[in-house]
Structure 1
Amino acid sequence: MLSILFKSMALGFYQSPAQLAPSQDNNWLWREYQQSGMPFEVFARGEKFRYAEPRQIRCFLERDDLTAPSEDRVYYALSRWYDVEPRFRLQYFLEMLPVVRLQQVPYYEFESVLKHMKSVSNVNTKIFRREAIAYRQGFARHRAVTGNPNQGPRLSQGVRKFLYVLGAPNGERQSLQRYDFATGEWRAEENITDARKQAAVAVFNGCVWVAGGLTADNEPLYSVCAYDPVRQRWSMEMNMNEKRYGFGLAALDGNLYVVGGRNAYKVQPPSGIYSDPENLKTVGIYDGSAWTTGVSMNKGRYALEVVVACGRLYAAGGWGTSASSSLKSLEYYHPETSCWTLVLTDMRHVRKNFRIAAMDDLIYVVGGDRNHSIDEFNAFYQRWIPRRFRLFALRSIRDGFAAAASDGLVYVLAGLHHDLETKSFEYVNPVTGASGNLPESPEAPGGDAKAVVVTFPMHIPVPS
């Protein structure tokens, strides 16, 4: 009986007689919050929040535009409201638990949330904790089963987000374009002065960093440059210790990491026959003032993809010992242990020319070699989400594209469609499978596109 009751509450079908009784305007608390100008956590500790009626609390916490710094803060706000009158409010606390978007709780806070739930001694919290673990192990499957409409990402109104796309239309100069998620408009930014192929791109210290690559004459580069979105200008940064192209670049814990790739374009042995150079295992680390050599990977990788998830740096796929030797393996670097660890389960497919993106604890492996599938890897539990629960795929097959993830959507950008450069940018929702298109960019970024999402707090002026 209790199990049926809980599932009804999770789906939003259950309402107590007290909930059906007349009450104040449900949006009163939200208006008070907006007018106060307080941060969410400060307001949630105040008397207006702590003594608000259950309906008002529920309507407040389930809003998509709630500007909580992280989802665990939403849970603790609800628990503080419950602590004011535990005996009277227990029923409402249980009813409102589903407004907490469990798959959005940061991995490092998740166990604390479960432990706190356990402190509320009630059989329904035990059920909810089991449901919470199910969310973490495979929330795509769980969402499909429950159909809970309140488990998508919150649309943060406290920040502005921009999508920056770097490309080389028709293989010529490199262009930089910006897409404003708020207005849905594109604009051209200042182009890089020196064009480079197979460079790596990442966001570091609020800027778009572009490192290494090849010149027009296929000469590998040491150089690094950064674009400041606020000042709208490029600057040259400190050169890497080793020239690279076809490598990975990512920021983690205040450092910038360069991973793998190659440092020579062609190798001419004594026989006079050109061959592919060796793929690198080496790692470089930039702390904002100097480059140092990091711990090498287990495998040499070229044309790999790197991403940060769960406080670790993941390196996936790429070419192994030769151009014909593609890798299915993943390995990750943990800053606390300073070592690389191979993930026990490989990718399902050998992928080359693929892209990777991350949201929260999930890593999305996108496309590759005219493959339009997308696979999901749960970095918290170190496992792939089973194929039968994969709810989506690319709408079109393309090569040389870029990929990024933000606010619950995976974006697939530009590239070559049937060997023709495309300006179309599509997105998919990894939970529902819904897909759509962004407005076309002014010019096609070409077949070597890169994309990153830059986030700014609202108080920082960003040129319109």
Structure 2
Amino acid sequence: IFNDLRLEGKLCDAVIRVAGQEDFKVHKVVLCNCSAYFTAFWGHCWSDGAQQIYTFPTVSPPAMRLLLQHAYTGSAALTPENVLELLETAGRLAATALVRACCDFLEGRLTSANCVDMWLLADSHGRPELRQKAYHHLLRHFEEVAAHAENFLQLSAWQLADVIERDELHVGQEDAVFRAVLRWVGHAPEDRCCHLVMLMSKVRLLLMPSRHLAGGVENPVVRRSLECVTMVLNAMTVHAQPRRGEAADPLALAPQPRCWPSAAETEASPNTHVQLYDARADRWMGVARGPSRGFHGCAVLNGAVYCIGGFDGERNLRSVRAMDVATRTWWDAGPMRKARSHLSVVALDGCIYAMGGCDGFGVLSTAERYRADTGNWTLLAPMHRQRSDSCAAALRGKVYIFDGIPLNTAGSNAECYDPHANQWTLIAPMLAGCNVAQAAAYGDQIYVVGGVRHFSATNRVLIYDPASNRWSEGTPMISARSSFGLAVLEDKLYAAGGYNNPCCVRQVERYDRATDRWSPVRDMAGARWGFCLCVV
């Protein structure tokens, strides 16, 4: 009824005049009901006399028309063309319900062209849900936004720095970040060159190919700063050095959803990148970046890859980071009860098990279990002995773990955990001891592959049969390796990278039990060791 009265001009007690001298007759009480601004504006100067004219020269007639429509009816005809202007008007006039309606409308219409505007608008209007979604869209589609969106150039230096330093930033190659920084600075070089050193420090130059670094040195924007030139030259120097056991730019790897089935890996040093192996194309691809950690564990659960514990270069970690395979976005999962690096991790029946490892004070015998539905870790019965750099696998509802480093010796001990009884049971010892080997359930058996024995890497393969509790020897790998990645993909067992004195290796091979043969496949882009390999 109030809207009918407004449209007929009856009982109105105020006139709002907007840009273009267009007038709108209104009822003060209705606008006070929807806007804290009008409540404060008229609260101290309420008049029962003749209609007074209140001027808002910065508000357009279409925006005021929609604001009044929402104030009187609770709805407004929002379109992609009018929603941003209306959001700005509603924010200035503190029309909270209309701000919420505009944000809800925008959430379902995020694009690379408008995500920066939405991120900044949502921040200014206190809409954390829209801000988070717009920000995540910017991270997921950074290359498209940085290359084509004009509003990307309006970011402040600190806003851009916040984006490009994120581990969740999705770029195919790091040089896309480098180009984005140069584009942003080049938009107003006289004003922005002072921020170049700070922004360049956020670019992971060691992940860029040498040819792109060489081009960067010649860029006129970079050449303005001796410090930036030095940063690029230092990265080129590292690239030119031979890679040995202490790799200069080890990568962290994880999966992405474009190539199915796919295997992914996570590197051991506290520097991160995401790569994917496409078995059908026989190629490795860089796809994104992950959490900064090494000597951690990885598991796939409910469509997400979990990176668990590890070492960040300064301390052993309790934290767990998870990546949604479909969206390639990372989030913090619940932390473990204990800090662990060099741990063993498996997934079984909707749970993740983390066992043993080092906490900075000693080697652990404890184990714990994670439930995704609660986000919590629960301590389990301890193992029979302390274990670090062990290998583990899950098969037929039980978890198996095979020796490791109790006192810097290669043992042959093995045990099995029954989740229903919360009990560890010793099983038949391995035929020969080892540590930093890898294990995988392959068919109805568990393969324990590679590792270190007598201070040297081995290519040995041991096979455990849970049904008979017996061990047998399998066909050895082509290359000896330890601290490598092992996974089963399309009924073949893949071994990737690792360490073989005195250097890391990049070779990848796979075993086919049908032919009982190992055969080489495409090498990884760089040599690396101490990482995890998982299949999505």
1:440-451 equivalences under 5 Å are 440-444=523-527, 446-451=528-533
Q: 2:415 corresponds to which letter in structure 1?
A: E
Greater relative CO, 1 or 2 (CA 8 Å, sep 6+):
1
How far 1:185 moved relative to its partner?
Answer: 3.1
Q: Which has the larger radius of gyration?
A: 2
Note if contact 1:312-1:334 (Cα within 8 Å) is conserved in structure 2.
yes
Contact conserved, 1:353 with 1:400, CA < 8 A, in 2? yes
Counterparts of 1:204 and 1:426, CA distance in 2: 26
Partner Cα separation in structure 2 for residue 431 and residue 374 of structure 1: 16
| Matched-pair contact (CA < 8 Å) for 2:483–2:498 | yes
* Contact residue 223 and residue 239 of structure 1 kept, 8 A: yes
Q: Give the letter aligned to residue 331 of structure 1.
A: E
Aligned partners of 1:310 and 1:360 also within 8 Å:
no
Is the Cα–Cα contact under 8 Å of residues 308 and 321 in structure 2 kept in the other structure? yes
Which residue of 2 is the match for residue 214 of structure 1? 311
Change (3 A) 1:245 1:313: same
Structure 2 residues not aligned, in runs of 5+: 1-258
Which residue in the other structure is 2:294 paired with? 197
Which residue is 1:297 aligned to? 383
The 2-side partners of 1:447 and 1:185 are apart by 19
Equivalence map 1:14-29=2 (5 Å)? none
Map of 1:284 onto structure 2: 368
Residue of 359, 368, 371 corresponding to 2:458: 371
Q: 1:172 to 1:221 in 2, by over 3 A?
A: closer
Give the aligned partner of residue 353 of structure 2: 257
- Residues 407 and 379 (structure 1), Cα distance of their counterparts in 2 relative to 1, 3 Å cut: farther
Q: What's the CA shift for 1:301?
A: 1.0
Aligned-partner residue type, residue 259 of structure 1: M
Letter in 2 for 1:183: A
Aligned to 2:171: none
Q: 2:483 corresponds to which residue?
A: 400
The correspondence of residues 95-174 of structure 1 with structure 2, limited to 5 A, is: 160-168=260-268, 171=269, 173-174=271-272
* 2:212 equivalent in structure 1: none
Aligned to 2:306, the other structure's residue is in SS state strand
Aligned-partner residue type, residue 294 of structure 1: L
Q: Which residue of structure 1 aligns with residue 399 of structure 2?
A: 313
Shift of 1:425: 0.7
Alpha-carbon separation, structure 2, partners of 1:437 and 1:340: 37
* Runs of 4+ off more than 6 Å: none
1:22-101 → structure 2 map (5 Å cutoff): none
Say whether 1:421 aligns with 2:518.
no
TM-score (norm 2): 0.49
1:431 Cα deviation after fit: 4.2
Letter in 1 for 2:437: F
Change in Cα spacing, 1:172 to 1:302, as seen in structure 2 (3 Å) is closer
Structure 1 residue 360: Cα displacement: 2.8
Q: Which ranges of structure 1 fall in alignment gaps of 5 or more residues? A: 1-158, 268-276, 455-464
* Matching residue's letter, 2:350: G
**For the Cα contact (< 8 Å) 2:508–2:520, is it kept in 1?**
yes
Aligned residue runs from structure 1 range 307-386, under 5 A: 307-320=393-406, 322-324=407-409, 326-343=410-427, 345-369=428-452, 370-385=457-472
1:410 counterpart = 2:496:
no
| Structure 2 equivalent of residue 178 of structure 1 | 276
Checking the alignment, whether the CA contact within 8 Å between 2:295 and 2:531 is kept in structure 1 is no
Quote the offset at 1:312 in angstroms.
0.6
Distance (Å, rounded) in 1 between the aligned partners of 2:281 and 2:533: 18
Shift of 1:172: 5.6
Per-residue CA deviation, residues 115-141 of structure 1 (Å, 9 max, x unaligned), is xxxxxxxxxxxxxxxxxxxxxxxxxxx
Q: Is the 8 A contact 2:296 2:531 kept in 1?
A: no
Cα distance between partner residues in 2 of 1:399 and 1:282:
24
Preserved contact between residue 404 and residue 411 of structure 2 (Cα < 8 Å)? yes
Amino acid at match of 1:333: Y
Q: Say if 2:277 and 2:283, in contact at 8 Å, map to a contact too.
A: yes
- In 1, Cα distance between equivalents of 2:499 and 2:383: 31
1:263 partner amino acid: D
Contact 1:189 1:232 in 2 (8 A): no
Q: Deviations over 1:203-254 (max 9, x none)?
A: 122221111111212x111100012221012221111111111111111111
- Equivalent-residue separation in structure 1 for 2:309 and 2:494 (angstroms): 24
Once residues 427 and 443 of structure 1 are traced to their aligned partners in structure 2, the CA distance between those partners, rounded to angstroms, is 18
Count of equivalent residues: 272
2:238 aligned partner? none
